[in-house]
């Protein structure tokens, strides 16, 4: 599978999250993932959460990367989209559990619920948090970037998302 990697530098300003969403939408469309596909809005929500976490919790710039299937195809074409957000903080992500009316603390819970896989790794002096979404029918296994095959294709892909 050919993979196209695109990246965007994101400033330390929370207003940059909206710019990251707009940029990601245009890159997804360019890779053949249309805005009306459920996977597109799921990816935008994941990007929004990961970029927000990086900017808010580190106060430093970040780098948003997307690894996309290189060949545009129909909505049911198999492939995995990987999103990575790297920042300069070496502190590992700390999932929290929001209570009732709390206004934050839900980001990594959303990532865990919507992504097919996610994790983090040290990158230079900082870290990178990543997630993957499989773009395929439930009966078709998608190969990931390390060559492993997964059958859990649509976990969370139908989650509702209201544009922020």
For 51-162, list the strands marked E by DSSP.
62-69, 80-87, 117-123, 126-134, 142-143, 149-150
Q: Which fold, 3-150?
A: Heat Shock Protein 90 (3.30.565)
Find the mean pLDDT for residues 25-50.
92
Phi, then psi, of 112 in degrees rounded to 5: -60, -35
> Measured between alpha carbons, how far is 24 from 38 in angstroms, rounded to an integer?
15
Q: Output the six-digit token pair for 1.
A: 């599978």
pLDDT value at residue 64: 98
Find the mean pLDDT for residues 93-120.
82
- Mean residue pLDDT across the chain: 79
| Lowest-confidence segment of 14-18, 97-101, 110-114, 119-123 by average pLDDT | 97-101
pLDDT value at residue 19: 97
Q: Tell me the percentage of the chain whose pLDDT exceeds 70.
A: 73
Find the mean pLDDT for residues 24-36.
90
pLDDT value at residue 34: 86
How confident is residue 144, by pLDDT bands cut at 50, 70 and 90? Answer: very low
Phi, then psi, of 126 in degrees rounded to 5: -120, -140
Residue 81's closest CA among 34, 33, 19, 128?
33
């Amino acid at each position: 599978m050919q993979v196209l990697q695109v990246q965007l530098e994101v400033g330390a300003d929370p207003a940059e999250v909206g710019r990251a969403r707009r940029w990601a939408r245009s890159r997804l469309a360019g890779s053949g993932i249309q805005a009306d596909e459920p996977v597109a809005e799921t990816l935008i929500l994941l990007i929004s959460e990961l970029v927000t976490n990086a900017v808010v919790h580190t106060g430093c710039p970040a780098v948003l990367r997307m690894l996309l299937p290189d060949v545009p195809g129909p909505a049911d074409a198999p492939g995995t989209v990987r999103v990575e957000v790297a920042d300069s903080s070496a502190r590992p992500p700390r999932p929290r559990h929001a209570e009732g009316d709390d206004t934050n603390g839900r980001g990594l819970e959303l990532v865990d619920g919507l992504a097919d896989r996610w994790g983090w790794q040290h990158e230079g002096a900082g870290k990178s948090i990543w997630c993957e979404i499989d773009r395929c029918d439930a009966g078709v296994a998608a190969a990931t970037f390390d060559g492993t095959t997964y059958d859990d294709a649509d976990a969370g892909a139908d989650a509702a998302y209201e544009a922020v």
